[in-house]
């Protein structure tokens, strides 16, 4: 992902953390920003011109790439998260390293077209159907890492421990179902042994994930947390997405999932709880007080009728916010950002819980930090040269003054307004077209058809 060349980009308008400035020149070398020149009204000689509003690259902090194959198919009739899950399992059953690579390459290309420069892939489809390991036990994870490289974006592979189908009692979980056998390594120790073989690359970092308290028995939570702690790696966990999870945890352990995670050393500044939807006041205090992050996925949470979480209260308590497209009902981080604010408006019947700048930080710097890319997500000297440019002259964005570009981006623009995506100083999307995957719609259609054949 590091490209050994020098390039200057001239940003017609640039979002510099708190405000929009016109005429900013950004020098890059070897994939990083070496200088930022403000008050540059015209492009310097040789500079690449980026018309519109340029943001730091966006971070999709929570992805299940294969869920993209479900788009549309689960929108017939009614149902719940649990009925949707059965359709998801049927799709997972058809994945192989080859079909998953093809699908993920197309999905990550779709992300690049949406201005996303880093993805957190919450990866739990590890083995062949029935649970038999592939010749390379990390074949599925390697397929995802390779797919991200070919699509031109960064990836944090959040290799996920998924050992049981439900909480059985205080000490153990129910065995995996037939569908879930390929998710499980049998024990947290076996999971850790397999994960330890994965290697980081320029474009790829390795993190850990606990699928949920229902999928990792309490006595094995600490093993996963310790693996991440020893490597100072990101640790993510689905947390209180469903009230049924809370009820089962209280019945077996006499506490909430958040309290259980706290007791076993899972919470902390490198940990991110995904969804954090159905929380008590004590849960919110534990998450915020420990510096544990919160990844909100509003388009998935509403698509699955999960409920509206308390992100404003979590952030006030000390939990950094990030955003993810999760099941990929849509892939649009601008939509995720505005949905978080608009959900809160519906819940409280008041407006203005986050500024546009705060929402963009959740979609960029704080998302990258949640994925272990602390050097990404800002336009400043020393940062990774990851940039996203949004048109200010489309039918959605034309009209407002450029100084209101952040507000326009968050509350009016869509992924379709992304004109340029630059990762490590390399143009991955130019003028709205992907430079590495020529026909992304066709690639998506072919990959999804192969799973339905």
Q: Where are the beta strands (DSSP E) in 57-111?
A: 58-63
Residue 19, classified by CB atoms within 10 Å of its CB into exposed (0-12), middle (13-18) or buried (19+), is exposed
What six digits make up the tokens of 309?
């979480």
Angstrom distance (rounded) from CA 257 to CA 253: 9
Angstrom distance (rounded) from CA 25 to CA 35: 8
Residues with catalytic roles:
275, 326
Q: Where are the beta strands (DSSP E) in 217-318?
A: 235-239, 271-275, 293-296
Contacts of 422 (CB under 8 A, 6+ apart): 9, 57, 117, 385, 386, 387, 388, 428
> CA nearest 219: which of 255, 256, 265?
265
Phi then psi dihedrals of residue 204, to 5 deg: -135, 130
Angstrom distance (rounded) from CA 86 to CA 134: 24
Angstrom distance (rounded) from CA 7 to CA 338: 33
């Amino acid at each position: 992902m590091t490209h050994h060349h020098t390039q200057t980009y001239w940003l017609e308008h640039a979002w510099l953390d708190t405000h929009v400035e016109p005429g900013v020149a950004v020098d890059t070398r070897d994939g990083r920003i070496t200088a930022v020149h403000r008050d540059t009204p015209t492009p310097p000689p040789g500079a690449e011109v980026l018309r519109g509003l340029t943001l730091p690259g966006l971070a999709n902090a929570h992805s299940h790439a294969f869920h993209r194959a479900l788009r549309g198919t689960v929108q017939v009739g009614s149902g719940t998260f649990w009925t949707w899950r059965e359709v998801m399992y049927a799709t997972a059953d058809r994945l192989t390293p080859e079909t998953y690579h093809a699908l993920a390459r197309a999905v990550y290309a779709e992300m690049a077209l949406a201005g996303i420069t880093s993805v957190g892939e919450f990866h739990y489809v590890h083995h062949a159907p029935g649970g038999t390991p592939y010749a390379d036990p990390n074949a599925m994870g390697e397929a995802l890492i390779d797919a991200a490289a070919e699509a031109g974006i960064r990836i944090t592979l959040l290799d996920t421990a998924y050992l049981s189908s439900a909480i059985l009692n205080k000490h153990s979980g129910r065995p995996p179902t037939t569908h879930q056998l390929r998710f499980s390594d049998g024990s947290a120790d076996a999971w850790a042994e397999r994960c330890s073989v994965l290697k980081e690359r320029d474009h790829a970092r390795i993190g850990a994930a606990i699928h949920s308290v229902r999928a990792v028995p309490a006595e094995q939570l600490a093993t996963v947390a310790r693996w991440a702690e020893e490597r100072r790696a990101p640790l993510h966990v689905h947390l209180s997405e469903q009230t049924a999870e809370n009820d089962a945890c209280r019945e077996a352990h006499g506490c909430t999932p958040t309290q259980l995670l706290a007791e076993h050393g899972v919470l902390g500044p490198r940990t991110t709880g995904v969804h954090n939807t159905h929380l008590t006041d004590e849960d919110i205090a534990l998450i915020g007080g420990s510096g544990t992050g919160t990844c909100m996925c509003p388009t998935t949470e509403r698509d699955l009728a999960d409920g509206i979480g308390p992100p404003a209260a979590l952030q006030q308590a000390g939990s950094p916010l990030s955003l993810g497209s999760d099941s990929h009902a849509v892939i649009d981080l601008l939509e995720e950002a505005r949905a978080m604010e608009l959900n809160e408006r519906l819940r409280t019947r008041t407006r203005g819980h986050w500024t546009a700048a705060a929402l963009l930080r959740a979609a960029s710097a704080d998302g990258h930090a949640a994925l272990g890319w602390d050097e990404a997500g800002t336009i400043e000297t020393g940062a990774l040269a990851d940039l996203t440019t949004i048109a200010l002259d489309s039918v959605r964005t034309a009209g407002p003054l450029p100084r209101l570009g952040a507000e326009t981006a968050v509350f009016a623009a869509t992924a379709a307004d992304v004109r340029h995506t630059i990762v490590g100083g390399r143009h991955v999307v130019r003028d709205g077209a992907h430079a590495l995957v020529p026909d992304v719609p066709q690639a998506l259609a072919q990959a999804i058809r192969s799973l339905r054949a």
